[in-house]
Structure 1
C-alpha cells in the first residue's frame, strides 16, 4: 500500500478572463447587443500527486501552464475548478488564520532573483521577515541565530546581512532566495524555474545546493522547468505538460529511456547528445494552438503525426502503461504507437 501523497492536485482548472468589464464585453451583432466573453484556459484538468521526499519536475514549452500550476498550488492564484490537498487536508478554500500553518510548511522559490528580493531591505531584514511573521514570540537572539544558520547552509557569509540585494550577483541572490524559503523550516518547496535566469556555470551550483538541502532537511520539491538536462539530473519523477494538460507522467529514468507520448518523444529528441545511436530529431508540423482557442479532443492532435478522428473529438485520459508510466494518448491506448 502506497503512502498518502504530501500534495494532491485534483481536476485543477484555471481560466483568466480577457473580456474586461461588463460594458467592454458587449458587442452589437445582427441588430442587438450580445455579451462576448473570452478566456485564457491556462490549466485544463490537471491531476498530480507529489509524494513525500521526492522531486517532481513539471516540464513543457513556454505557455503550457507550468508556472500557473505552481502559483495555484501555493495559493497565489485561486483555482477556477478543482481541489488542492496538503497532507490530506483541502487547502485551496482556506482563508485567514487557518491557512497560516500551511504557509509555513509550503514555500516558493521564484524564477527571477533580480525581481524577487525587496530592493529596500537588507539581506538580514529579508531573511528575518518570514521568521518574525511565523514565530512572533521568538527573541531577537533566536531570530538572529536562525538567520545565520540558514545563511551558512546555503553558503552565504552572515556578514553579508547588512548589504542590499543589488550588491550581489544573480547566483548569490538566488542563494539568498533559497535561504529565505528555508528560514521557516518548510516541508514542501515549489521552485518555479529557479535557475533559468542564471549563468550556466552557476546553475549547477544552485541545483547542487537544492539537492543538498533536500537531503539534509527531508524536503519535497515541485520543480518547474523547461530544461530537460536539469530534469535528468534533479528529478525523481517527471510530468510533461502541453497546453494546460499533463500528457505523460513517469519516473525520470523511464521517461528518458522509453518516452511514450508523441510530444515527449519530440521534446527528448531535441536534447543535444553525444551518442551515435540516439533517435533523429523529430520535427513537429502544424500550428501551435493557443490557450484562448483550445482545440477539441486531444490538445496535441494538430501537431501529432499519429492523430485520427478519435483524437480530434475525445479528450484522452492518463492511463497506466506496462513500464509504469501514465500516458494520455489514444494512439498508445489503441496500440498504434
Structure 2
C-alpha cells in the first residue's frame, strides 16, 4: 500500500460566537459567570486522499464539508488535529515554509462570479500565480503557459484581454479551472464547482475536470451535495453529518449497499424515473444545532435504530465486510 497524498487525522474546527471578554460575562443565579459558545463545524474527521483518486465529500448543507476543504487548503486554521501532505505535516506551517505546498495544492471555488477579480483581465488573472511561483520565468514562457492552459480548458487565448464580467458562468468557471492548473498542481480541492452553473453547462465542466485528471494525473478532493455527480465522478465517497464522517466507501459499494442509516436516507431521496412507488426514508426530527452538539452519535436523535449506547458513546469508523467503513453502533452490533 502506498501512503496517501493527503492525510487528515482528528480534524476539528470551531468558530467562536462569544465575542470579547465583556460579552462573555453573564450574571446568572446571583453570580457572574463566563459563558463561551462556538459553532462546532468539524468534529474529529479522519480522511485519506490517495494519489490519482477523486474523493467526494457529500452531505446536507451545514454538515462541514466546505469547512474541511478550506481547512485542508490552509484558508482556515484547524482548532485541533493534523493535516499531512505527502508525509509532511502542513497545518502548522506559515510564511515561506508553506509556499512549496501552495503550488502543489490548488482550489476551485463554488461561485465563479465571485472568485475572479473584476479589475483584472483574464490574462492578468492567469499570469498572477505563474509569476508568483515562477519568478525566474521569461515573459515568453509565461505567455506560452497561459496559452497552453487556456487551450486545455477550451478557452480561446484571444480572450485574454477581456474581463470576467464579459463571460458566462460556465466560461468563468473554465477560467477558474485554468487558473488552478496554471502552476501544474498535484492536488485540487473543488468546492461545489458546478452548483452555481446551469444544468446544461455542468456536464461540460465535469468532463473538463475528468479530462484534466486523466491527462495531468491530478488528485481531487471534491465537495458536493449532488449525488448524481458523485456517482459519475467519484472514486470514493465520504458521507458527513454534523461535522463527522459517518460512512466512507468506494462509489460503487456505497450506492449499491449503503450501511449507515443516514446514508440510506440520503440515497433514498434520489428521484428515479422507473420507480412507480418510491420508497423514501423519511427522517423524523430536526437537524441538531452545531452550537450544542448532542451527546454520543450526532445522528441518534433522528435514527430509528438508536439505543442508549448511541445516545452516550460516539461511534468510531469501523471496517465492514463489504470494504466500507461505517461509524454506527447498530452496524457494529449487527442490529442493522
* TM-score of the pair, normalised by structure 1: 0.99
- Using the alignment, how far apart are the partners of 1:216 and 1:9 within structure 2? 27
CA shift, 1:31, in A, is 2.3
Q: Which residue of 2 aligns with 1:136?
A: 135
Closer/same/farther in 2, CA of residues 95 and 333 from structure 1, 3 Å limit: same
SS at structure 1 position matched to 2:259: coil
Closer/same/farther in 2, CA of residues 279 and 326 from structure 1, 3 Å limit: farther
- Using the alignment, how far apart are the partners of 1:287 and 1:266 within structure 2? 14
Aligned residues: 336
Q: Which residue of 1 aligns with 2:31?
A: 32
Q: Which residue of 2 aligns with 1:196?
A: 195
Q: Which residue of 2 aligns with 1:120?
A: 119
CA shift, 1:273, in A, is 1.3
CA shift, 1:30, in A, is 2.2
Q: Which residue of 2 aligns with 1:154?
A: 153
Structure 1 window deviating more from structure 2 (98-107 vs 26-35): it is: 26-35
Q: Which residue of 2 aligns with 1:261?
A: 260
- Using the alignment, how far apart are the partners of 2:34 and 2:7 within structure 1? 37
Q: Which residue of 2 aligns with 1:227?
A: 226
RMSD: 0.9
- Using the alignment, how far apart are the partners of 1:29 and 1:298 within structure 2? 31
Closer/same/farther in 2, CA of residues 278 and 55 from structure 1, 3 Å limit: farther
Q: Which residue of 1 aligns with 2:87?
A: 88
Structure 1 segments unaligned to the other structure (5+ residues)? none
CA shift, 1:95, in A, is 1.1
Offset from partner CA, 1:155-199 (integer Å, 9 cap, x none): 000011000000000000000000000000000000000000000
SS at structure 2 position matched to 1:15: strand
- Using the alignment, how far apart are the partners of 1:278 and 1:308 within structure 2? 31
Q: Which residue of 2 aligns with 1:71?
A: 70
4+ residue runs over 2 A deviation:
274-279
- Using the alignment, how far apart are the partners of 1:275 and 1:299 within structure 2? 34
SS at structure 1 position matched to 2:214: helix
SS at structure 2 position matched to 1:117: coil
Structure 1 window deviating more from structure 2 (282-291 vs 183-192): it is: 282-291
Q: Which residue of 1 aligns with 2:251?
A: 252
SS at structure 2 position matched to 1:56: strand
- Using the alignment, how far apart are the partners of 2:247 and 2:29 within structure 1? 45
1:322 aligns with 2:299: no
Q: Which residue of 2 aligns with 1:60?
A: 59
Q: Which residue of 2 aligns with 1:3?
A: 2
- Using the alignment, how far apart are the partners of 1:139 and 1:320 within structure 2? 52
- Using the alignment, how far apart are the partners of 1:70 and 1:34 within structure 2? 36
CA shift, 1:274, in A, is 2.8
- Using the alignment, how far apart are the partners of 2:154 and 2:126 within structure 1? 14
- Using the alignment, how far apart are the partners of 2:287 and 2:28 within structure 1? 30
* TM-score of the pair, normalised by structure 2: 0.99
Structure 2 segments unaligned to the other structure (5+ residues)? none
- Using the alignment, how far apart are the partners of 1:284 and 1:325 within structure 2? 23
